[in-house]
């Protein structure tokens, strides 16, 4: 029996060794095409119902006019996240030409993997992006100064509040101009028992959760400063400290829940305030008697900043007909299609002239007007090396100090800033 075990172990070891050697020598042919080629292309879009409706209409319109450059479209295949699916497709060389839901935080990784085409490759690439999006487009440039994503649409987050709960608690929503005001309102709501919690952002440990608690408030407090600027973290500052202290107090006093809510705490009336983008207008609809106010900063301002929650369009290197892909990209982000996208989905096209271009829409649907104004003052996740790890590092430290209340905010911000600076500087 022992001899058999030894034999099995020896054979297993040999197989694993052989497999290791085979792995070393793997080689694959290059894929993709070059700018200048035209023909049929494939695209993926989000599985969001409204975006699918717009996507199908856009594709039908293009296909009707381009018999030799037909688009085949489908929703992004299911996975734990879109980014995971896209990463796998890049490695396998099976990405479509365009993906209309590329998260900016994942772009540095896709770029490093050689999965994306720099849009500057096209003659009018950079000029088109800058003309459409204006100065905000600069946030989407990669460290080599090129655009590997087309800034497409944003969902600038604001505070949705429940009018009924506010009325019951005796809180005036117009008095939410600063973080201190919000804290006072939160205490009133909790004390009145009008809602279980004033706010219930997810306290989960996932890297992206900070985009819906700390980051919008930090953007507002710091007058639009990204988490990392010019290769250095910025949050170990007065704005960062006060924002982190604000949230720490919210958790310490039980004004925000430390537990993950299964469902939508705002829609269920468990929380009085939610941090959401314009997509939530249709979602909450008549379910909640809601209103919106901008995310408050340290001082009152009618020009406050927030997090963009943008999703962009990537042109992938496995694409054979890249010229067609670029032409489709411009068609899908033309003034006409941007207008249709806005009307169908309620999300803001990243067009610097959107407020005037679609004035009729904003007049007929005033709830969206605040978002169109806010969309001009947004902060994106920084386009830096190891972007996901940067956010995970921040989230881990934030969870420990701010959510769980261990240690001081000052120490946490300093230690985390040092770690993040190293991550950004690393390859």
Partner 1 sequence: MTTTTAAGPARTRRATGKATGAILGRQPLGLVFVAPYVLYIVLVLAYPLGFAVYMSFHDYFFTAPGVEVPKPFVGMDNFVAILTDPAVARSFLNTLIFLVINVPLTVVLSLVLANALNRVTRLKAFFRVSYYIPYITASVATVAIWLFLFQGSGLINQLLGPLAPNPSWLINESLAMPVIAIYVTWKQLGFFILLYLAALQNIPNELYESASVDGANKRQQFMNITVPGVRSATLLVMVLSTITGANMFTEPYLLTGGGGPNGASASPVYLMYKKGIEQGHPGLAAALGVVLVIGVLAVSLIQRKLVGGEED
Pick the binder of partner 1 from 4, 20, 174, 363 (CB under 8 A). Answer: 20
What is the residue-wise DSSP string for 106-146? GHHHHHHTT-B--GGGSTTHHHHHHHHHGGGGGGGB-TTS-
Q: Which of residues 240-299 bind partner 1 (CB under 8 A)?
A: 257-260, 262
20 torsion bin: left (phi>0), alpha (psi -120 to 50), beta (else)? alpha
Does residue number 6 form part of the binding site for partner 1 (CB under 8 A)? no
Q: Which two tokens stand for residue 60?
A: 């039908």
Stretch that binds partner 1, among 173-181, 220-228, 287-295, 397-405 (CB under 8 A): 397-405
Does residue number 34 form part of the binding site for partner 1 (CB under 8 A)? no
**CB of residue 30 to partner 1, shortest distance in Å:** 3
Measure the CA–CA gap between 256 and 197, rounded to whole angstroms.
6
Stretch that binds partner 1, among 8-16, 141-149, 226-234, 302-310 (CB under 8 A): 8-16
Stretch that binds partner 1, among 63-71, 136-144, 201-209, 373-381 (CB under 8 A): 201-209
Does residue number 205 form part of the binding site for partner 1 (CB under 8 A)? yes
Does residue number 406 form part of the binding site for partner 1 (CB under 8 A)? yes
What interhelical angle do 214-221 and 238-252 show, nearest 10?
A: 140
Does residue number 86 form part of the binding site for partner 1 (CB under 8 A)? no
Does residue number 356 form part of the binding site for partner 1 (CB under 8 A)? no
Q: Which two tokens stand for residue 373?
A: 């104004």
Does residue number 207 form part of the binding site for partner 1 (CB under 8 A)? yes
What is the residue-wise DSSP string for 206-262? -GGGGGGTHHHHHHHHTTS--SEETTEE--SSHHHHHHHHHHHHHHHTTSB-SSPPS
The closest alpha carbon to 380, from 43, 90, 149, belongs to: 149
**CB of residue 251 to partner 1, shortest distance in Å:** 11
112-132: b (≥16 Cβ within 10 Å) or e: eeebbbbbbbbeebbebbbeb
Give the rounded distance of the alpha carbon of 13 from its chain centre. 45
Pick the binder of partner 1 from 124, 172, 206, 282 (CB under 8 A). Answer: 206
Pick the binder of partner 1 from 352, 404, 415, 421 (CB under 8 A). Answer: 404
**CB of residue 117 to partner 1, shortest distance in Å:** 11
**CB of residue 12 to partner 1, shortest distance in Å:** 7
Q: Specify burial of residue 181 (Cβ count, 10 A radius: 0-12, 13-18, 19+).
A: middle
Does residue number 191 form part of the binding site for partner 1 (CB under 8 A)? no
The answer to whether 244 and 395 have CB atoms below 8 angstroms apart is no
Measure the CA–CA gap between 374 and 294, rounded to whole angstroms.
8
Pick the binder of partner 1 from 6, 60, 113, 300 (CB under 8 A). Answer: 113
Query: Which CB sits closer to partner 1, 66 or 258?
Result: 258
Does residue number 72 form part of the binding site for partner 1 (CB under 8 A)? no
The answer to whether 168 and 137 have CB atoms below 8 angstroms apart is no
Does residue number 12 form part of the binding site for partner 1 (CB under 8 A)? yes
- Tell me the backbone φ, ψ of residue 297, rounded to 5 degrees: -105, -155
**CB of residue 411 to partner 1, shortest distance in Å:** 15
Residues binding partner 1 (CB under 8 A): 1, 12, 15-24, 28-32, 83-84, 87, 90-93, 95, 109, 112-115, 196, 202-207, 257-260, 262, 317-318, 386, 388-389, 392, 396, 399-400, 403-404, 406
């Amino acid at each position: 029996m022992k001899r058999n075990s030894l034999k099995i172990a020896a054979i297993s070891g040999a197989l694993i060794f052989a497999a290791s050697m085979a792995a070393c020598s793997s080689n694959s042919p290059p894929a993709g095409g070059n700018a200048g080629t035209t023909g049929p292309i494939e695209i993926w879009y989000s599985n969001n119902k409204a975006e699918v409706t717009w996507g199908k209409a856009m594709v039908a319109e293009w296909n009707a006019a381009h018999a030799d450059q037909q688009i085949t479209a489908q929703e992004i295949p299911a996975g734990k996240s879109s980014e995971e699916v896209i990463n796998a497709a890049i490695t396998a060389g099976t990405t479509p030409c365009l993906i209309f839901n590329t998260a900016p935080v994942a772009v540095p990784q896709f770029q490093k993997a050689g999965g994306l085409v720099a849009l500057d490759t096209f003659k009018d690439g950079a000029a088109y992006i800058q003309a459409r999006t204006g100065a905000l487009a600069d946030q989407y440039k990669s460290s080599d100064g090129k655009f590997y994503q087309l800034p497409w649409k944003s969902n600038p987050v604001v505070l949705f509040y429940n009018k009924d709960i506010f009325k019951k608690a005796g809180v005036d929503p117009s008095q939410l101009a600063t973080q201190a005001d919000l804290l006072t309102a939160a205490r009133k709501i909790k004390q009145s028992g009008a809602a279980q919690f004033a706010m219930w952002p997810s306290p989960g440990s996932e890297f992206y959760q900070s985009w819906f608690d700390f980051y919008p408030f930090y953007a507002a407090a710091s007058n639009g400063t990204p988490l990392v600027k010019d290769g250095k973290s910025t949050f170990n500052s007065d704005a960062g400290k006060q924002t982190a202290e604000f949230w720490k107090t919210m958790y310490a006093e039980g004004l925000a829940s430390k537990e993950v809510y299964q469902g939508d705490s705002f829609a269920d009336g468990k929380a009085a305030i939610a941090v959401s983008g314009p997509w939530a207008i249709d979602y909450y609809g008549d379910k909640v008697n809601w209103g919106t106010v901008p995310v408050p900063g340290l001082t009152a301002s009618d020009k406050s900043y927030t997090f963009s929650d943008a999703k962009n369009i990537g042109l992938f290197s496995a694409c054979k007909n890249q010229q067609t892909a670029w032409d489709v990209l411009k068609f899908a982000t033309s003034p006409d299609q941007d207008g249709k996208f806005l009307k169908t989905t309620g999300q803001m096209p990243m067009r610097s002239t959107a407020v005037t271009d679609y004035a009729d829409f904003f007049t007929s649907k005033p709830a969206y007007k605040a978002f169109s104004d806010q969309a001009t003052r947004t902060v994106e996740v920084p386009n830096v090396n190891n972007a996901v790890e940067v956010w995970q590092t921040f989230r881990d430290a934030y969870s420990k100090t701010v959510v769980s209340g261990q240690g001081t905010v000052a120490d946490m911000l300093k230690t985390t800033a040092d770690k993040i600076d190293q991550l950004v500087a690393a390859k």
